[in-house]
């Protein structure tokens, strides 16, 4: 360029004693004509004199070239790093995610999804995304210490094509700086609450930027996904056992089966949070929440408060002064919300049907198909003998101190549906679990899951707790008599004493479905006897079997119709039949005792003897009566009684023995809807109750609730006179369309198990 000349720094600037720090690059400097060159430092001039060979003088016309030449790099342009501005989890109840994942009935704004299924999110970036220059991935974390190796810290890469059973994401839409991602999860993913982050960086991984979503993701089990171990193929069963918020729980005796409506309310506001709280409260590591076997085992322990401050305190004493009577509950919602809001303070009180109702709610909420199941004449085997033992003294009087085994009038537990890869093939499907604290399992009050198929076939060695459940439904009842030397002889056996009318709500209706055939073969069949003997070989008394004996006199107790009603006399029929061609004589000893529904006797209230004379092949009916005056001040919860009959045939010495439980039936509440049921429009319902007793009921309380109709609340009525009728009118505004149930219950010290339900179809405006 005219008037300018180019010079390159001298080699003297490079050496062990430079006048300045060694250059990191060679600088090209332009000097204009007439400008004085920069002066050399003193040290440099001194070294030049001392070592002239290193500093040869060059002609002024030549260019000084160093042995390293690098051009000066132009200044780097100011590039904006890629980052996330916002994330939309598309969690609207009416949006695609919630509809496709069958979670649109849940309340709340978190993204609620089911594993093994894709979901979509939208990511807003600060500039358009270009996969040639940037990377993007999603991270999900759950639990207190998320670890990739445990599946609790999930890194989800961005791919071109999604593959099943892998955590992956794919861009399905891109508009300017906004991208929509489709995210895939495996069917074995850990369930629970996840935090979501989106990380962006350069292709080399430099300059990463992390965006943490303020909203969480809730991952649930997926009975709609074939790869999930809780997959349930039948859509009607999925609708019933996962999506139905109301159900029926059965109680009473096999000859007097009662039914009560229960509001499970698994989609009600606050219930999902309460269920996740229960999982967090357990000692199960988060990595174990992907296995439904682990989850239901933990749930069966945490629904009771026996040893881990779980949800419900069990109480069978009859004194509920510090809480709510178990018979007064008709919903899981109030119980779970109260437990959650008190940060895990157990709720008072529960008995088996309450434990079961709450368990159904929790499992359905988490996505595990579940139902409440009632077993009538349910044995409680205390010594793992797989038999129910009844002991008499020399005079055939019951020995209460030895009769530790008991037979409950009814007992309610749960079935849940899942595959069992931990068991041999063929034992998946319905699994029995029990949250009522009866016996410990591995040191904790819990029970199951026990394969119902294993129970049916007597394979009691298969886990978990199969022997206990088998004894409940199919143990033989063995009667023993004490000898003068203190030993006992087996005098009688009943092979059909337990496990009757096993019941659950039918799919798609309020009818009762008998599922006894799932738990046991037909009574008396060869298959059923083989199952009993197979199970007995694994019990604590493997060599004790029911000894056959010649028995030609039979005895049974019959109850007419729905059975005796509260406030009236109880009348039962004892039918004795001579099956031989010879006459038979016997003396029957009868005693009736007030009984808790668990089979524990409170006390005997009547004893008598009845002589029996039978002609060859004759059948005789003996009428047995218990008057109201004899039981009026004696009954406890469930109003249950046990009639014990024993005797010996004079001619053959055959022992006659029978135990029959029955209850005094209580009246129902009659609920009558008034007016048309329309969303957002006030309506009313009339609740009517008639006192069946000739005495005053004290401190009567009503509890009323209807999902989508009325929040649960208490109405204090006070005293209700003998044989009087009281009417309560409820006003409420329906909030959801469709078929609904208004449920009410009555509670007082003198009368329990009084409840009613009205079916109301709400139309949209």
Q: Which of 123-137, 177-191, 436-450 has the lowest mean pLDDT?
A: 436-450
Rounded Cα–Cα distance for residues 196 and 194 (Å): 6
Clarify whether residues 381 and 530 are in a common domain.
yes
Rounded Cα–Cα distance for residues 597 and 714 (Å): 26
Residue 476 is labelled as binding a ligand: yes
| b/e map 75-89, b = 16+ CB within 10 Å | eeeeeeebbbeebbb
Residue 528 is labelled as binding a ligand: yes
Over residues 370-382, mean pLDDT: 93
Clarify whether residues 193 and 322 are in a common domain.
no
Question: Cβ distance 476 to 499 under 8 Å?
Answer: no
CATH number of the structural domain spanning residue 268: 3.90.260.10
Clarify whether residues 305 and 358 are in a common domain.
yes
Q: What are phi and psi of 511, to 5 degrees?
A: -75, 160
Rounded Cα–Cα distance for residues 430 and 476 (Å): 24
CA angle 537, 539, 544 (to 5 degrees): 65
Helix/strand/coil (H, E, C) string of 699-755? Answer: EEEEEEEECCCEEEEEEEEEEECCCCEEEEEEEECCCCCEEEEEEEEEEECCEEEEE
Over residues 421-444, mean pLDDT: 89
- Could you identify the residue written with the tokens 């056959």? 548
The continuous run of DSSP H or E covering 100 comes out as helix 96-100
What's the pLDDT tens digit per position in 630-654? 999 899 888 999 898 988 899 998 8
Q: Is residue 545 part of a domain?
A: no
Helix 333-341 crosses helix 352-366 at what angle (to 10 degrees)? 80
| Residue 267 DSSP label | T
Asked if the model's pLDDT at residue 32 lies above 80, the reply is no
pLDDT of residue 20: 43
Q: Is residue 561 part of a domain?
A: yes
Q: Which of 29-43, 83-97, 362-376, 390-404 has the lowest mean pLDDT?
A: 29-43
Asked if the model's pLDDT at residue 10 lies above 90, the reply is no
Rounded Cα–Cα distance for residues 175 and 395 (Å): 91
Q: Is residue 227 part of a domain?
A: no
Over residues 132-150, mean pLDDT: 95
> Residue 434: which residues within 8 A CB-CB, separation 6 or more?
300, 355, 413, 414, 446, 447, 448, 469
Q: Is residue 88 part of a domain?
A: yes
Clarify whether residues 247 and 107 are in a common domain.
no
Mind giving me the DSSP string for 641-695? EEEEEEEEBTTT--EEEEEEEEEPBPPPPEEEEES--BTTS-EEEEEEEE--SSS
Clarify whether residues 30 and 163 are in a common domain.
no
The residue among 75, 94, 121 that closes a domain is 75
CATH number of the structural domain spanning residue 649: 2.60.40.10
Clarify whether residues 70 and 89 are in a common domain.
no
pLDDT of residue 765: 80
Question: Could you list the residue range(s) of the whole structural domain that residue 334 is in?
Answer: 235-536
Clarify whether residues 659 and 724 are in a common domain.
no
Rounded Cα–Cα distance for residues 106 and 268 (Å): 7
The residue among 48, 75, 102 that closes a domain is 75
Q: Is residue 717 part of a domain?
A: yes
Q: How far is CA 727 from CA 137, 533, 666, 753, in A?
A: 63, 56, 17, 18
Asked if the model's pLDDT at residue 58 lies above 50, the reply is no
Q: Is residue 229 part of a domain?
A: no
Confidence grade of residue 37 (pLDDT, cut at 50, 70, 90): low
Clarify whether residues 691 and 607 are in a common domain.
no
Clarify whether residues 525 and 569 are in a common domain.
no
Question: Cβ distance 546 to 536 under 8 Å?
Answer: no
Over residues 730-743, mean pLDDT: 95
Q: Is residue 175 part of a domain?
A: yes
What are the catalytic residues?
352, 411, 434
Total structural domains in the chain?
5
Q: Is residue 147 part of a domain?
A: yes
Question: Cβ distance 657 to 574 under 8 Å?
Answer: no
pTM: 0.79
Clarify whether residues 625 and 685 are in a common domain.
no
pLDDT of residue 199: 96
Residue 412: left (phi > 0), alpha (psi -120 to 50), or beta? beta
Clarify whether residues 518 and 576 are in a common domain.
no
The residue among 50, 75, 100 that closes a domain is 75
Question: Cβ distance 83 to 209 under 8 Å?
Answer: yes
Clarify whether residues 455 and 415 are in a common domain.
yes
Residue 527 is labelled as binding a ligand: no
């Amino acid at each position: 360029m005219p008037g300018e000349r180019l010079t390159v720094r001298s080699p003297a600037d490079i050496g062990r004693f430079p006048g300045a720090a060694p250059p990191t690059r060679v600088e090209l400097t332009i000097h204009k004509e007439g400008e004085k060159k920069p002066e050399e430092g003193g040290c440099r001039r001194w070294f030049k004199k001392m070592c002239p060979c290193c500093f040869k003088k060059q002609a002024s016309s030549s260019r000084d070239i160093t042995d390293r030449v690098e051009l000066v790099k132009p200044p780097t342009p100011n590039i904006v790093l890629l980052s996330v501005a916002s994330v939309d989890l598309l969690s609207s109840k009416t949006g695609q995610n919630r509809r496709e994942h069958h979670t649109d009935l849940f309340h709340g704004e978190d993204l609620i999804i089911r594993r093994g299924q894709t979901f979509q999110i939208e990511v807003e970036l600060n500039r358009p995304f270009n996969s040639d220059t940037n990377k993007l991935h999603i991270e999900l974390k759950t639990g207190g210490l998320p670890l990739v190796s445990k599946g609790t810290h999930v890194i989800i890469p961005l791919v071109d094509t999604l593959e099943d059973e892998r955590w992956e994401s794919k861009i399905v839409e891109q508009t300017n700086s906004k991208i929509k991602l489709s995210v895939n999860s495996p069917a074995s993913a850990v369930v629970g609450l996840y935090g979501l982050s989106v990380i962006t960086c350069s292709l080399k991984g430099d300059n990463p930027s992390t965006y943490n979503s303020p909203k969480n993701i809730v991952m649930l089990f997926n009975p709609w996904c074939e790869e999930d171990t809780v997959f349930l193929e039948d859509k009607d069963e999925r609708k019933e056992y996962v999506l139905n918020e109301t159900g029926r729980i059965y109680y009473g005796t096999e000859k007097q089966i009662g039914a009560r409506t229960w509001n499970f309310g698994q989609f009600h506001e606050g219930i999902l949070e309460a269920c996740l709280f229960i999982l967090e409260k357990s000692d199960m590591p988060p990595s174990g929440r992907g296995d439904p076997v682990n989850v239901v085992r933990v749930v069966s322990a945490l629904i009771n408060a026996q040893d881990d401050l779980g949800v419900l305190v069990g109480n069978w004493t009859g004194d509920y002064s510090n809480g709510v009577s178990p018979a007064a509950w008709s919903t899981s919602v109030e119980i779970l919300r109260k437990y959650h809001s008190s940060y895990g303070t157990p709720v008072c009180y529960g008995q088996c049907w309450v434990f079961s109702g709450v368990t159904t709610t929790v499992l359905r909420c988490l996505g595990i198909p579940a139902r409440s199941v009632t077993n009538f004449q349910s044995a409680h085997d205390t010594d793992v003998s797989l038999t129910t033992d009844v002991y008499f003294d020399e005079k055939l009087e019951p020995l209460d101190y030895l009769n530790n085994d008991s037979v409950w009038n009814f007992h309610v537990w749960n079935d849940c549906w899942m595959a069992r890869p931990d068991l041999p093939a063929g034992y998946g499907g319905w699994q029995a679990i029990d949250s009522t604290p009866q016996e410990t399992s591995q040191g904790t009050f819990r029970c199951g899951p026990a394969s119902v198929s294993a129970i049916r076939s007597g394979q009691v060695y298969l886990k978990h707790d199969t022997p206990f459940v088998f004894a409940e439904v199919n143990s033989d009842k063995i009667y023993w008599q004490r000898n003068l030397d203190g030993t006992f002889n087996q005098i009688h056996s009943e092979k059909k004493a337990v496990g009757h009318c096993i019941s659950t709500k039918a799919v798609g209706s309020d009818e009762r479905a008998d599922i006894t055939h799932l738990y046991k073969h037909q009574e008396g069949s060869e298959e059923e006897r083989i199952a009993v003997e197979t199970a007995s070989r694994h019990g604590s008394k493997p060599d004790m079997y029911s000894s056959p004996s010649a028995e030609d006199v039979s005895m049974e107790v019959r109850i007419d119709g729905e059975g005796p009603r509260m406030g009236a006399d109880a009348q039962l029929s004892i039918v004795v039949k001579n099956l031989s061609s010879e006459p038979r004589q016997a003396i029957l000893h009868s005693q009736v005792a007030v009984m808790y529904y668990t089979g524990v006797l409170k006390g005997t209230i009547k004893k008598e003897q009845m002589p029996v004379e039978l002609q060859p092949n004759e059948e005789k009916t003996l009428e047995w009566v218990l008057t109201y005056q004899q039981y009026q001040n004696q009954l406890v919860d469930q109003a249950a009684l046990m009639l014990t009959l024993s005797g010996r045939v004079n001619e053959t010495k055959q022992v006659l023995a029978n135990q029959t439980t029955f209850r005094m039936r209580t009246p129902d509440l009659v609920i009558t809807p008034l007016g048309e049921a329309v969303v957002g429009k006030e309506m009313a319902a009339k609740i009517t109750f008639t006192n069946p007793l000739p005495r005053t009921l004290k401190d009567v309380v009503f509890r009323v609730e209807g999902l989508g109709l009325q929040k649960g609340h208490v109405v204090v009525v006070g005293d209700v006179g003998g044989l009087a009728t009281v009417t309560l009118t409820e006003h409420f505004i329906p909030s959801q369309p469709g078929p609904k149930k208004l449920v009410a219950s009555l509670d007082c010290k003198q009368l329990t198990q009084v409840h009613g339900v009205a079916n109301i179809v709400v139309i949209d405006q």
